[in-house]
Amino acid sequence: MPPLYDAQAVIAPENIAAGAAVLWEATSGRLLWGRQPDAPLPPASTSKILTAVTVLDTADIRETARVSAKAAAVGESSIHLRQGERLQVEELLAGALMRSGNDACVALAEHTAGRESLFIDWLNVKAKTLGIYNAHLANSNGLPAENHLISAAALAKIAAYALQNETFAQIVSSKYRDIGSGGSFRRLRNTNKLLWQDDRVDGVKTGTTEAAGSCLIASRRQGRAHFISVVLHSPDRYGESLALLDYGAGHYQLGRLFAAGETVALLPLDGGSWQSVSVHADCWLLTAPEERKNAVLSWQFNPWQTAQAGEHGGFFQIKTADGQILATYPLYYQEAANR
């Protein structure tokens, strides 16, 4: 169960003019700041990260995909695939993520699911498996479509999940990549200019359409903290993304409260017995200085006459001095016990 946070306890960064934007910390799962974070909006090519995740979780990246006439005919942003051309799945992923190739996305969808229409169904199912219920994808590449919508917060969650995959992380952090051979050779240059502007940035994806405006998902790590920013319809996607990432890295610290399996309390069983069982949790807390000052820890335990190992035993919360909830963590019995 992920921690639950009250984003209202956070001071917002200044001068962000994007229509929708979020700053997310992936290790704690905390939304640090948002403007219209859950509003379903046109995402342009930022939705390609869900295409990539679905492919990576389904297909073998070493397989060779054959480019169909339909994929080769997809226009606008393209890596100029030709009908009958053969490239590895990983190479097409690089074309989709680094150069935002719409044609590469269709080729990947057809190779993975047999046809793009079925793959689109898979995309929408994948979103739900990641806990995203306010998105609807109408194509594999983010080209304008009336019902192709996803929120800034959803994109941050997908990016956090995707960056756990080494192949995805390596591709989106690369400035250049060579793919193919012979007549299929291409040198790709990443469309994400932040990779050149700040060497602490390690991804993730640009997007631009008239409906979506200029969009960007960006990522930066600082120790164990992992900050992800999303800006949609931004007048300055690179400047605003850096401002959000700098705000997160400069204002918040991530600390481990308890390690997995560490005993944090001994609970008497219901019925008057003094026999006790331990509870455990794996807890990271991301806080700003004003939140750490006078923070309060509160507990709530479930009364039991018996307990099974792994059974839910209650929860504890971290609150600010004025009662705002910073985090809620579940507790579990570590071993079985009887009254």
**Cα 68 from Cα 294, distance rounded (Å):** 62
What's the chain's length in residues?
339
Residues 220 and 186 in one domain: yes
Residues 233 and 308 in one domain: no
Give the model's confidence band at 324: pLDDT under 50 very low, under 70 low, under 90 confident, else very high. confident
Exposure letters 160-176 (e unless 16+ CB within 10 A, then b): bbbbeeebbbebbbbee
Averaged confidence pLDDT in the chain: 89
Residues 210 and 291 in one domain: no
Structure tokens that stand for 25 in this block? 């910390």
pLDDT at 4: 32
DSSP-H helix ranges across the chain: 48-56, 69-72, 89-98, 102-113, 116-129, 152-162, 166-172, 194-197, 237-251, 289-292
Sheet with 213-222, side-by-side order of all strands: 30-35, 20-25, 225-232, 213-222, 201-209
Q: What is the pLDDT of residues 45-101, one digit of tens each?
A: 999 999 999 999 999 999 999 999 999 999 889 999 999 999 999 999 999 999 999
**Nearest by Cα to 92 from 133, 51, 127, 34:** 51
Q: What is the pLDDT of residues 102-137, one digit of tens each?
A: 999 999 999 999 999 999 999 999 999 999 999 999
Contact 169, 97 (CB under 8 A): no
The CA-based diameter of the chain, rounded to the nearest angstrom, is 79
In a domain, 8, yes or no: no
- pLDDT top residue among 87 and 302: 87
**Is residue 171's pLDDT more than 80?**
yes
pLDDT at 5: 34
CA dihedral for 85, 86, 92, 95, sign (positive or negative): negative
In a domain, 246, yes or no: yes
Residues 315 and 235 in one domain: no
Angle between helices 48-56 and 116-129 (to 10 degrees): 90
Residues 241 and 275 in one domain: no
Return the minimum-mean-pLDDT range out of 9-18, 107-116, 198-207, 321-330. Answer: 9-18
- Residue 190's domain is classified under what CATH number? 3.40.710.10
Counting the structural domains of the chain, the total is 2
Residues 147 and 267 in one domain: no
The structure's pTM equals 0.87
**Residues of the domain holding 29:** 16-251
Residue range 248-265: mean pLDDT, rounded: 82
Residues 227 and 315 in one domain: no
**Nearest by Cα to 217 from 17, 77, 48:** 48
**Cα 261 from Cα 104, distance rounded (Å):** 44
